[in-house]
Structure 1
Amino acid sequence: MSDRTPVQNAELALLLEVTGTPKPGNVDRDREFSDLRFEHFMAGAVGARPGLERAGAGDRLGRAFERAVAGMADQSAGNTQFGALLVLAPLVAAASDGELTPDFVDSVVRGTTVDDAADFYRAFEHVDVAVDDPPDGLEPLDVRRGSDAVPVLEARGLTLFDVMEQSADVDGVAAEWAGQFERVFAAAERILADDGPVSERASRAFVELLAEERDTFVVTRNGPEAAEEVQRRAKAVLDGDEDAAELADDLVERDINPGTTADLVAGALFVALERGLVV
């Protein structure tokens, strides 16, 4: 077994996630966007470390996440791993407390406070994050308002878990928070059961997750039809009817980025590392 700490494994998970190749629609070792490059993800992972250390030390989860985002954003591309850090923060907190299980992680996120929700909103002031407009009546809680929304959070007594639960139907990371990180833990077990280089296992896990459900980031940026196309073509890759590398090239060319799926892979890699994945 490795002697790495949970914080070290979280940083390594972020680095391993971006090395997974091919990873359709996302930055990997062979593919980049003009304004979002491999190096930005490397810098983002290193910059997030102090915030992840706070999660590992038992600091408030929202504060740890906000600090991780602030550090991640200390590179020229801005947002590289916002969603991945939202997945990783509670996993690191649970692992550092010695119990990385779905039930314990669920207790961690359910134990968040209104202050944690306020920190989550402040994190949006560090980077631009693609999100949908809020439903009618919830405009005061638009995350893009940042700290301006904090008085509304306080008046309504909304914890960070409450905020995630409200978004679970439309956001894949929020759904993990509300659902005991079910897909993350399942993908971790598949990575552990797989063989070969970790980068290839991560790539296969990515395609499997992409084939299971529509990527909510694609829904937000490109629309539901694009998300359904990506899901359908990921299934074709698994069936041997389409080439993963060709799909990756096509999605990058069209600026279709299944970023939520990448966030879940980062979480799955962390769980797998904590459970003995050898690198």
Structure 2
Amino acid sequence: MTDAKSSGIADRDPVDDATLALLLEVAGTPKPGNVDRHRDLGDLHFESFLGGAIGARAGLELAAIAGDAGDAGDASTGGGDDSPSLGRAFERGVAGMADRAGTNTQFGCLLSLVPLLRATAEGDLTPPGLDRVTRATTVDDAIAFYRAFEHVDVAVADPPADADELDVRQGVDAAPALRARETTLRDVMALSAGVGDSGPDGPERVPDRNAQEWVEGFPRTFRAAEWMLRDEGPLTDRAARAFLGLLAAEPDTLVAANHGPETARETSERAAALLGGAHAVDSGPDGVADPSDIDAAAVHDADLDAAEELAAALVEEGINPGTTADLVCAALYVALRRGAEVSS
């Protein structure tokens, strides 16, 4: 793995790397079921993602400011515009993305990039560093996160039965409940990351993988970044292979929200078949293996030609593993910070 200090990577602007990660994620192909440089999804176009990446930059810049000065304004409106709070940075990024893209393109990507940028700014882009960043979030951060849902439509699963008042689809109207419960943004993520809750679509719901990253120290992100760093060829191809590895490892949250957990698990099995079957679908408590159980060599040998066939099939079936794409974006950022270059 390349040392950032010796290679000059430390001198690169982290916000540039975060923006590049957003661009590289959508440029990677094939990413079955997702927009990439070869295919659009209905009214969602490749160019929309390019616009979203540029529009999000103001929020990314706020996230890249070390420390947390707190919100300067009314917490019910997310605080002062110049505040570097994590929640405000995310909400600003989503607003800019939506304004430039005209739709929701990279909501989940930004949810991961914001803490990754903050950890970078504080000099500790590691699982422990990210744990400190997420544990420092506040109730005001949670309110800003909820406000972000007012800028775009986001497909989410129903909340647990005992947390109806914290449904993110309420937007800022959930602020009184958040304050009454003293719920921080990390608390919100922990609620979404719960495993084993009963849901309307099956006995076991698929947890929110982005939320799991927040409360677990981003293990999927770092694992996929390692796959990319040890792989060869253009970074977009490495990202496409990492996408298959992540999808094979765990059912996609967005697929489960839109089609149910069984379809999500079947989609993971289809991705695993492109890795030579190097995946035990029924090995974990929610029917999947840990991403670390996927052998890096199997990811590197993934058949992208065969993945093109799966990509066409999933688009035809309306199956969109968008949460997996979010994880790839986060991994691309980490890989770039650790020395990955755009070309082979």
Normalising by the smaller structure, the TM-score range is over 0.9
Aligned equivalent of 1:238, options 275, 278, 282: 275
One-letter amino acid of the structure 2 residue matched with residue 226 of structure 1: T
- Cross-structure match for 1:72: 97
Give yes or no for the alignment of 1:149 onto 2:149. no
Give the unaligned 5+ runs of structure 1.
none
Aligned equivalent of 1:14, options 19, 22, 44: 22
Alpha-carbon contact 1:35-1:77 (below 8 Å) kept: no
- Cross-structure match for 1:262: 325
Give yes or no for the alignment of 1:247 onto 2:285. no
- Cross-structure match for 1:161: 186
Aligned equivalent of 1:199, options 211, 216, 236: 236
Provide the rounded CA distance (Å) in 2 between the counterparts of 1:77 and 1:232.
Answer: 34
| Secondary structure, aligned partner of 1:209 | helix
| Secondary structure, aligned partner of 1:79 | coil
Aligned equivalent of 2:143, options 110, 118, 122: 118
Give yes or no for the alignment of 1:229 onto 2:266. yes
Normalising by the residue count of structure 1, what TM-score does the alignment of the two structures yield?
A: 0.97
Provide the rounded CA distance (Å) in 2 between the counterparts of 1:134 and 1:97.
Answer: 33
Provide the rounded CA distance (Å) in 1 between the counterparts of 2:158 and 2:230.
Answer: 40
- Cross-structure match for 2:292: none
* Root mean square deviation, CA, Å: 1.3
- The answer to which structure, 1 or 2, has the higher relative contact order (CA under 8 A, 6+ apart) is 1
One-letter amino acid of the structure 2 residue matched with residue 31 of structure 1: R
One-letter amino acid of the structure 2 residue matched with residue 195 of structure 1: E
| Secondary structure, aligned partner of 1:158 | coil
Q: Structure 1: which 4+ aligned runs deviate by more than 2 Å?
A: 1-4
Give yes or no for the alignment of 1:171 onto 2:208. yes
- Cross-structure match for 2:56: 48
Alpha-carbon contact 1:65-1:120 (below 8 Å) kept: yes
Provide the rounded CA distance (Å) in 2 between the counterparts of 1:165 and 1:180.
Answer: 12
Provide the rounded CA distance (Å) in 2 between the counterparts of 1:269 and 1:133.
Answer: 30
Q: Per-residue deviation at 1:75? A: 3.5
| Secondary structure, aligned partner of 1:243 | helix
Normalising by the residue count of structure 2, what TM-score does the alignment of the two structures yield?
A: 0.79
- Cross-structure match for 1:63: 88
Give yes or no for the alignment of 1:33 onto 2:44. no
Query: Larger helix proportion, structure 1 or 2?
Result: 1
Provide the rounded CA distance (Å) in 2 between the counterparts of 1:143 and 1:278.
Answer: 37
Deviating more after overlay: 123-132 vs 224-233: 224-233
One-letter amino acid of the structure 1 residue matched with residue 265 of structure 2: E
Provide the rounded CA distance (Å) in 2 between the counterparts of 1:151 and 1:32.
Answer: 40
Give the unaligned 5+ runs of structure 2.
1-7, 67-83, 195-206, 277-301
* Higher Rg: 2
Alpha-carbon contact 2:87-2:145 (below 8 Å) kept: yes
Provide the rounded CA distance (Å) in 1 between the counterparts of 2:101 and 2:248.
Answer: 32
**Aligned pairs, how many?**
279
